Each structure stands twice: as structure tokens, then as C-alpha cells.
Amino acid sequence: MALYLSKSGKLLPHFKQKICSLGMISLTSIGSCFSQNPPLSPEHGKTPYAPPSLFASRRFGSVKAENLASITNTADSQALNFPGGMVKFTPELKFISDLPEERIHCYRVLDESGHLLTSDFVEIDKDIAVKMYKDMAMLQTVDTIFYEAQRQGRISFYVTTAGEEAINIASAAALSMDDFVFPQYREAGVLLWRGFGLQDLANQCFGNVGDNCKGRQMPAHYGSKKHNYFTVASTVATQIPHAVGAAYSLKMEGRDACTITYFGDGGTSTGDFHAAMNFAAVLEAPVILFCRNNGWAISTPVSDQFRSDGIVVRGQAYGIRSIRVDGNDALAVCSAVHMARKMAISESRPVLIEALTYRAGHHSTSDDSSKYRPIEEIEWWRAVQDPVARFRKWLEIQGWWSCESDTELKDRARQEVLNAIQVAEKMEKPGVGEIFTDVYDFPPSNLRDQEKLLRQTVLRHQRDYPHFQL
């Protein structure tokens, strides 16, 4: 049975929608709650889909010239059709509250012991569930060994996904291979799920001739055209408007696919985030905006970043359907992304997902998070809220996993990662000429001069550049 998504762009054949309230709301009930454009009609090759009430959205009508008469002659003097839609008047001098009395609830399927809390989720079969766990466990192993390799001076930099393994793997499992991924830098698990191998990861981190980025990227800044995974950029949040623009392109082409972009809570403090949100909402781009709210933008806590109730409320402000999920719950993440993808494509609309989690490791190997948060806090999250352990407990309850299987998996994973690193270390570095390729068809004179100067410098100082291949 195939474990990967087909190139046809269809949803995972292994997913089976539970007969429950999630996704079972009728179009009639939706219409009573929302005023919005209708979903694409069957004549366009799309099936109308009723979104679940978990996602909040609203779209207002606009004033048109032919309706001006009705505005001035309205019988209801307590309302007026302003540009943007009908607004009721009130005699009360009342300001909107700065903060709600209660925070937006967080969608969760599994408790810390791996037991189901609801039947309101998308089912996955044994093969997919086991693959999800294996990839999460492998991701933990990769992070541990690559982090150690950086500390040993074998690679220059690394960033882990500690505490966010479920976000990586569970979201990837709900996508199609035809969907385009615009990552931040903590989504290596999405690549693993899509078939990017351990040797590919190691080659990129060591920047050798096997690196498809040709050694021009920082370690852990992956990219793969084959896997529809756009190359990571360290610049914060620049990938968000890119994802929205690409989604709009897919919409114009009538493709049965969407884009997904990942970003942290810190990324939402940038102008790119807000511009992308408005762009996505107004042009109704089929994009999933996935925020990993792990509590910290490097050393800046969310309490110093914003006063709002997290990120989910910003979706409603921009007119984007939104949901908050437990980022440490693989089934909750998988269900939310599965439903968001269906809505994004069938209704041609953006969807915002805020996954609440905790960054259980340092921001990167350049950071020491013990300087700004208690070690006891970090250890508690690692021990009590580990998303990999929670999902394993659910698998064991299902009778799909055992302690013996777990020991065998982790021993094999460690050996495979170590072997990949040893192979990557022995491979040559790309030639210096690769620094100047893949931008211009015919390099301009200034680049040709720079390449010539670089080659001369390397030849004069070969001891200082032992790994440079001319």
C-alpha cells in the first residue's frame, strides 16, 4: 500500500472522514452564519463544501452604484449600507473591548496519555499512522545527532524542531505532493515525509557536491524542486507573501492544489505577515497560513510581542477563516490541515491555523535559551507535552505499536543518521564557480571579474582554502 501522496493531487486515500460534526455542517446552516461568496460550482470541476464551525470567517458585501438608491431610500433609519456592507447604528457610546473575557479555545483530540477526547477528527489508517510516528521519531534522532555534530565543529550551524515534531509530520501527512510548501526553517520533517532522504539532509548541512543547493545555503536551509519545497530563507516572514502569490497563481490556473506557508509567532510581528494576510483575504488565494506559536521569537516572549489573544484572532480581523489547535497533538494538527486544505481548494479561500506549542530546544545552535527562561520550564514541556510520546501512546492503545518496535526503530534510526553524516563528511565541496551560476544565463562583466579575482586569491592562499575546488 502506497504511503505517499499521489501526483494526481487527490487527498490521501487513507483518510476517512468520521461521521460527526466536523465537516458535516450544511450549506443552509453556514449561510445563516456567514455572508460570503458561494463556493465554486460543479461546472468548474469543484464540489461545493460546507466548512466546519470550528473555523471562523465572515465576508461583507460592497456598495455598488446600482444600489445607491436603496441606500438613500432605506426604510430602516437604524442602519446604513456603508462601503463594505450594511452597518447598524447604536445610541451607546461603547468601545470594543481590547481583550476578550476568555481566550479562543484550542482544538485538541488526544490528551497527554494518548486517549481520545472527541470523535470530531479525521481518521487515518494504520499504515499512515505508523509512518507518521516513524518520521517523528526519525526527526528527533536527526535533530539530536546533527546538533551534536555542530557542537563538535563538523557543521557550522543547525536549528532543531524539538517540541514541534507533530506540527511537521502531521501537517505534511494531510497535504498532497502537488501542494507547494513555503517553509520557515523549522520544517525539515515536511521534507522527510515527502521523501527527502537522510543523505540529502546531511549533504545540505555539510554543503558538499551532493547538496542540491550547491553549498550556497546555510546548514538546515533546505530546498527541493522535486518535492515542491521552496528553499528556506533566513529572512523572517518573507516566505508568507511568496506563498500567497503562488496560491493566487494556482487559482488562476485552476489547479487542484494549494500552498502552505509556515512561520513563527515572531514572523507575525513583521509587515510581510500583515501584507500577505490582506493580500490572501482580498484575492481569496487558496493558501494555508500555518503559524507555529511556540512562545518565543528567539529570546523575545510572546508577552513582549503583542497584546492580542495570540495569532488566531488576526485571521478574523482580516476576514480569514481561522482555527487554533494543540500543536503537540498530531491528530488535531492532521485534522485541521486536512480540513483547511479542502476549504482552501474547493472554496478558493485562505485559512489561518495557529498551532500552540513550545519550543523545547534552543532557537538555534547560536542560542542559549537557559539565559532567558527557566531550565525547569523547558524540561517540563519535554517530559509532559512531548508530541512524539503522546502519539506513540495512542498507537499503543490502538494495538499498532510496541516497546520492542520502538527500541528497534530508534536504534536503526540512529545508525542510519550516523552513516549519512559519515558519507557527507567525505564528499568534496562544490567548485568555487558554483557561487556565480544559476542567476544569469550569461554572467555580466562584474561577476566574471569577481570570479577571476576569487580564483586568483584561492591559488595564492591554498593553505587557507584547503576545501575549495577550482
pLDDT at residue 56 greater than cutoff 60: no
Selected catalytic residue, list 234, 269, 308, 405: 234
Q: Is 221 a catalytic residue?
A: no
pLDDT score recorded for residue 32? 34
Of 16-20, 71-75, 287-291, 317-321, where does mean pLDDT reach its minimum?
A: 16-20
Catalytic residue among 112, 148, 425, 428: 148
Tens-digit pLDDT profile for residues 424-447 = 999 999 998 999 999 999 999 999
CB 331 within 8 A of CB 121: yes
- Give yes or no for residue 35 having a pLDDT over 80: no
Look up 354 and say whether it is catalytic: no
**Residue 364 annotated in active site:** yes
C-alpha 322 chain-centroid distance: 14
Q: Which DSSP string do the residues of 5-68 spell out, in sequence order?
A: PPTT-PPPTT-EE-SSSTT---HHHHHHH---PPPPPGGGT-------TTSB--------GGGH
Neighbours of 297 (CB within 10 A): 19
Q: Which residues on neighbouring strands pair with residue 107, listed in sequence order?
A: 325
Sign of the alpha-carbon dihedral angle for 140, 143, 146, 150: negative
- Residues 207/158, Cβ–Cβ less than 8 Å: no
Q: Give percent above pLDDT 70 in the chain.
A: 84
C-alpha cell at 170: 502531521
The pTM (predicted TM-score) of the whole model is: 0.84
Q: For residue 466, what pLDDT band results from cuts at 50, 70 and 90?
A: confident
Averaged pLDDT, 141-155:
98
Confidence of residue 75 (pLDDT cuts 50, 70, 90): low
pLDDT of res. 469: 77
Of 322, 335, 364, 369, the catalytic one is 364
pLDDT in tens, 379-426: 999 999 999 999 999 999 999 999 999 999 999 999 999 999 999 999
Active-site annotation holds for 148: yes
Q: Residue 125 CB: number of other CB atoms within 10 A? A: 14
Which residues in 189-280 belong to E strands, given as ranges?
259-264
pLDDT at position 254 is 97
- What rounded mean pLDDT belongs to the chain? 88
Domains of the chain: 122-425 (3.40.50.970), 431-470 (no CATH)
Place of cell 506563498: 243
pLDDT score for 28 = 34
Segment 225-234, tens digit of pLDDT: 999 999 999 9
Cα 55 to Cα 278, 327, 369: the distances in Å are 18, 16, 34
CA distances from 273 to 127, 168, 238, 251, 384 (A): 37, 21, 8, 21, 32
pLDDT digits (tens, 9 = 90+) for 310-338: 999 999 999 999 999 999 999 999 999 99
